[in-house]
Amino acid sequence: MRVVVTGGSGFLGSHLCEALVGRGDTVWCLDNYCTGESLNVAPLRGHPRFRLVRADVTTAFEVPGPLDAVAHLASPASPPDYGRLPLETLSVGSRGTENALQLAMRRGARFLLASTSEVYGDPALHPQPEEYWGNVNPVGPRSVYDEAKRYAEALTMAYRRSIGVNTGIVRIFNTYGPRMRPHDGRVVSTFVRQALEGSPLTLYGDGSQTRSFCYVDDLVRGLLAMLDSGHSGPVNLGNPAECTVRELARLVIEATDSPSTIAFGPLPVDDPGRRRPVVTRARDLLGWTARVPLDVGLRKTVDWFMAQPHPAHRTLGQPLEA
């Protein structure tokens, strides 16, 4: 296939690009680098089936030649990122999504929207099936991301129903693995960075809130399965194994063999208390389930962080550079 991946230099996007090229597809990777990094796709540079284009998808864009699929992953995706880029987050969720849909419509291509479990907000129903409409504060600090994705889902379904575009929606739950930015604000990368520095791991509230952590290789398998299918979704993609944030901290300290202790801070506004996907649709429609246990995935993630040259990734015992 010939596939466009928006946000293709980001954490998830780069892994998707790598998987597509690896199976023989031709990939156009579009990114404006507001949160993505060109280093993430450096191994693909020069590959005959890979094209890297600096582009802002909130303005109309084109790629040459025929096209089979558009995977729309472009968006800031962590609270610190969409907190400092609120207007950009709303713009890529609205104008960016429509521009990507327009491209798919013009070319008769499959369109895949990477939505998020954040559409469920702080859920009143646990675990969360796709039929659940969510509990989102539309004016809270997280709303720029939550509502951008909810709007993107509505827009995607409108293009499917009214114009007949072949669309699919996945709702991605917490994903982790190599290429996470050490200061992106996600809990796994934050804990790993703090543990490798020997700093206290910062838990918000009492650490009893839960998340479901999916290793990136598993998540990408789900994206490929949805991209290759004709299903409209939404389909939850995530690991249904639920873990408290306190337990995650313990596992990270164990994986890094760190002397770090645990510190506590105030719970952020609208921080979800519980999060776990119902993945029946993914299993029945796509034949997909998560395979990588959390302790195994964390070990792989820690190994990658420790191999990086940046001092924020340094191994224990190495001094910070001035």
The answer as to whether 64 is a domain residue is yes
The answer as to whether 153 is a domain residue is yes
- Looking up residue 165, the CATH number of its domain turns out to be 3.40.50.720
Number of structural domains found in the chain: 1
The answer as to whether 122 is a domain residue is yes
Question: Using omega within 30 degrees of 0 as the cis cutoff, is the peptide bond preceding 234 cis?
Answer: yes
Residues spanned by the domain of 161: 2-176+214-237
Q: What is the DSSP letter of 119?
A: G
The answer as to whether 118 is a domain residue is yes
* Ordered per-residue pLDDT tens for the chain, 322 residues: 999 999 999 999 999 999 999 999 999 999 999 999 999 999 999 999 999 999 999 999 999 999 999 999 999 999 999 999 999 999 999 999 999 999 999 999 999 999 999 999 999 999 999 999 999 999 998 999 999 999 999 999 999 999 999 999 999 999 999 999 999 989 999 999 999 999 999 998 889 999 999 999 999 999 999 999 999 999 999 999 999 999 999 999 999 999 999 999 888 887 888 999 999 999 999 999 999 999 999 999 999 999 988 645 443 333 333 2
The answer as to whether 198 is a domain residue is no
Task: Enumerate the H helices of the chain as residue ranges.
Answer: 11-22, 79-84, 86-91, 97-107, 143-163, 187-197, 216-228, 245-256, 280-286, 294-306
Element (H, E) at 243: strand 242-244
Q: If we measure between CA atoms, which residue out of 236, 216, 126 comes closest to residue 173? A: 236
The answer as to whether 254 is a domain residue is no
Alpha carbons 71 and 93: distance in angstroms, whole number:
13
What is the b/e burial string over 276-293, where b = at least 16 CB atoms within 10 angstroms of the residue's CB?
A: bbbbebbeeebebebebe
CB proximity list for 288: less than 8 A, separation 6 or greater: 221, 222, 225, 237, 279, 282
| Catalytic residue annotation | 145
What are residue 36's phi and psi, to 5 degrees? -80, 165
The answer as to whether 191 is a domain residue is no
Q: Are strands 242-244 and 210-212 parallel, antiparallel or unpaired?
A: antiparallel
The answer as to whether 318 is a domain residue is no
